[in-house]
Amino acid sequence: MKAAVLREVKKPLSIEEVEISKPGPHEVLIRTVAAGVCHSDLHFVEGHYPHPLPAVLGHESAGVVEQVGSEVRTVKPGDHVITCLSAFCGHCEHCVTGFMSRCISPDTRRLKSDKPRLAATSGSMNQYLNLSSFAEQMLVHEHACVRIRKDIPLDRAALIGCSVMTGVGAVMHTSKVRPGETVAVIGCGGVGLACINGAAIAGAGRIIAVDMQGSKLNLAKEFGATDVVNPKDGDPVKQVIELTSGGVHHSFEAIGLKQTAEQSFRMLGRGGTANIIGMIPVGVNIELHGADFLGEKKIQGSLMGSNRFPVDMPRLVDFYMSGKLKLDQMISRRIRLEDINEGLEELKRGELARSVIMFN
């Protein structure tokens, strides 16, 4: 099969022929239909986060089941599925206490003594984030995908696999936004727009979008932002505090920078919660003022929207089909696998919401 391979950090991905294994007892072979190009992929390309190389990248995807292993009961050939990088074992402490997205059990991966799921025509090949969806096929654990209804276009469904689940989940699960509360979202890319959309669905009273791109702020209004703040017009923290008479109940940092993480905490009102969704580079520290904690302000991380994806993703599909969840507007471009490096360059420029690779 064709796949986009990262062989060296800070170098373009190469389109190569990669071998894929047959499904094991609890594995599913999926024909990839669509895969979003996400900032998380870019972080690994640029070396901000380490990963064994060479590797087939990609992790935001949807497709059609082609084969299943002998013990698989959750999906069957012909099913349409969304994948999720937070594969879960179902029996570890995190899983049995309801925090499936935190699962790090090795049970969802093949043993080192087993034949690997992916292989280069000459040499080894590593699977990326349990998925490797920049490829014509994916071989995943059955707990890394969920069956969905067939009337949603799979390019839209793919977005639910990462950015939408991450953003909406951070609002509803991680921070538990309640009707009438105030929200600020820093960064209006795919994840940030999903946060805004999720806050609107949750009934937030005021939703403030923060971004330096005017086009993205205009898009944020379509997703439910009631106010927009451009840091080019002055200190965004001061602007948010003035809009809310003291700060927001919830802030969401969806970029992954030291400065914006610190701003997300400073724009909170008393008792507020800052949620860091963006991937801050390894080794970077953030600085907070100790006196702010006297106001019972909190800062926390959010991993894949604290999801229970086998339940959450079909519900998000229903939200889209009923018009509540906006996915059409999130797709800026549809590209071929061969255009992947151009899609990654667009991410660096920060001008578009989402490019989606189409495999048909």
Tokens 């600085």 -> residue: 287
Identify the active-site residue in 26, 38, 143, 175: 38
Contact (Cβ atoms closer than 8 angstroms) between residue 200 and residue 227: no
User: Per the residue annotation, which of 84, 103, 145, 162 is the catalytic one?
Assistant: 162
40 as an active site residue: the answer is yes
**What number of residues does the chain have?**
360
Omega within 30 of 0 (cis) for the link into 12 = no
| Torsion (CA) 202, 272, 251, 45 in degrees, nearest 10 | -120
What six digits make up the tokens of 203?
């009934």
The reply to whether 43 belongs to the active site is yes
- Secondary structure (3-state) at 349: helix
Query: CA angle, 303 as apex, 336 and 209 as ends, to 5°?
Result: 75
> Is 162 part of the annotated catalytic residue set?
yes
Dihedral pair phi/psi, residue 22, rounded to 5°? -90, 155
Q: Nearest to residue 251, comparing CAs of 298, 318, 194, 287?
A: 298
Q: What are the backbone angles phi and psi of residue 138, rounded to the nearest 5°? A: -130, 140
Listed residue (253, 35, 23, 230) closest to 117, CA to CA: 23
Count of CA atoms in the C-beta half-sphere (13 A) of 19: 11
Catalytic residue among 39, 40, 141, 195: 40
**Which of 26, 39, 59, 249 does the annotation list as catalytic?**
59
Tokens 């920049």 belong to 134
How far is the C-alpha of 251 from the C-alpha of 185, rounded, in Å? 6
Is the CA virtual torsion 180, 186, 188, 190 positive or negative? negative
Determine contact, residues 190/356, Cβ cutoff 8 Å: no
**Residue 289 annotated among the catalytic residues of the structure:** no
Active site residue 89: no
Active-site annotation, residues? 38, 40, 43, 59, 162
